[in-house]
Amino acid sequence: MNGATTIQERLKDLRLNKGLKLEELAEQTGISKSALGSYEKDDYKEINHGNLILLANFYGVSLDYLFCRTENRAEINTPLRELHLSDEMVALLKSGRINNRLLCELATHKDFIKFLADIEIYVDGIATMQIQNLNALVDTVRHEIIERYRPGED
């Protein structure tokens, strides 16, 4: 996840992610290099709202993203119904009882499918059933071996 916490950091990160120098960004947006440079300075407090809209459109992000009100860059206004979340899950996500940032990183991790499979094995008790089956098989084979070598004795 992006660690930017200010508009200035977001603007700089977005520019660097596109591999642009201030001069190139100025050419492509029509905003002066000096204005763009000042927008990225930590001590700059005021940014022209028209330029903010232009930059948000240029980078394909929402103003909420620039204002650090959301981490969503591409999915700006996804309706909740498209996410197929239960009311309980929405309430949990909104409650602050879990770390949503960590949950997002977990869900987008390259090994997330393996993790889900492991959880399914645990939740569905598949591993427990397999272990019980193996234990039963071991008991049966043990009993057969004992009968073969020590008939009549258990």
- pLDDT(4) > 70: no
Task: Report the distance separating Cα 136 and Cα 130, nearest Å.
Answer: 10
Task: Report the distance separating Cα 19 and Cα 16, nearest Å.
Answer: 5
- pLDDT(1) > 60: no
CB 117 within 8 A of CB 125: no
CB 2 within 8 A of CB 71: yes
pLDDT tens column, 32-55: 999 999 999 988 778 889 999 999
Strand, coil or helix: what is 37? helix
pLDDT tens column, 7-26: 999 999 999 999 999 999 99
Q: What is the pTM of this model?
A: 0.54
Task: Name the DSSP letter for residue 127.
Answer: H
| Tally of helices (H runs) and strands (E runs) in the chain | 9, 0
User: Strand locations in the chain, DSSP E?
Assistant: none
